[in-house]
Amino acid sequence: MEKFITPQGMWRDILMDANNRVVQDSGWLANTIVDRCRSLLAGFMKNESSAGIQYLAVGQGMTDWDISGVPAPDPTATDLITRYSPTITVTPSDMVFLDETNSPLPGPTNRLQITVTLAPGYPAPIAPLSTYPLREFGLFGNFGGVDYMINSVRHPVIHKDESATLVRVMRLVF
């Protein structure tokens, strides 16, 4: 029988108040690499018109998750349940290759760390709240001009107020 090693991912959120004090640290948690990530990688390997990580999308998810519990992400998902606009562009300077001990390396490895900062004011609070309730996020690439979801995370609600900063760190292992 064939044995395949699939891409894996993990993430960590660090929420800081207006004075840069850590309010919440999720620690490292697993995420779901969705099926379209594999298509994006195959397109790259075949020299098709694919582009790697382009942006991070965040969303509210569903308010009933706060009561019923957060469901596991759907590996066949192609987008978030509720996406906030605009998304956050991920640039090459937001990404670094890692070795087996998670130390940065200048050249390609099978480990990639992506760090994205949700600055104060992003996303904007939703009236009548003074916060934006974050419950989901995903990285997206592009294949043939179409956005392809790479990973999917659903988590308990984080109420990010306008003065807070959220640093989201994601690691992908191929």
Average of pLDDT values for 5-30? 94
**99, part of any domain:** yes
Structural domain contains residue 57:
yes
Q: How do residues 105-133 score in pLDDT, each as one tens digit? A: 999 999 999 999 999 999 999 888 889 99
φ, ψ (nearest 5 deg) of residue 172: -120, 135
Q: Report the pLDDT averaged over residues 35-44.
A: 89
- Annotate 136-156 with DSSP letters as a single string: EEEEEEEETTEEEE-EEEEEE
Q: Give long-range contacts, CB 8 A cutoff, 24+ apart: 106-113.
A: 110/173, 110/174, 111/171, 111/172, 111/173, 111/174, 112/171, 112/172, 112/174, 113/169, 113/170, 113/171
Q: Could you tell me if residue 2 is inside a domain?
A: no
Query: What band does 87 get if pLDDT is binned at 50, 70 and 90?
Result: very high
Provide the pLDDT confidence category of residue 57 given band limits of 50, 70 and 90: very high
Decide if pLDDT at 5 tops 80.
no
The tally of domains found in the chain comes to 1
CB atoms within 10 A of CB 110: 13
Q: What is the DSSP letter of 110?
A: S
Residue 1 forms part of a structural domain: no
Quick one: average pLDDT of 77-86?
Answer: 96
State the average pLDDT over residues 6-19: 95
Report if residue 3 sits inside a domain.
no
Tell me what the pLDDT averaged over the chain comes to.
94
16 is a domain residue: yes
45: containing domain: 8-173
pLDDT value at residue 44: 86
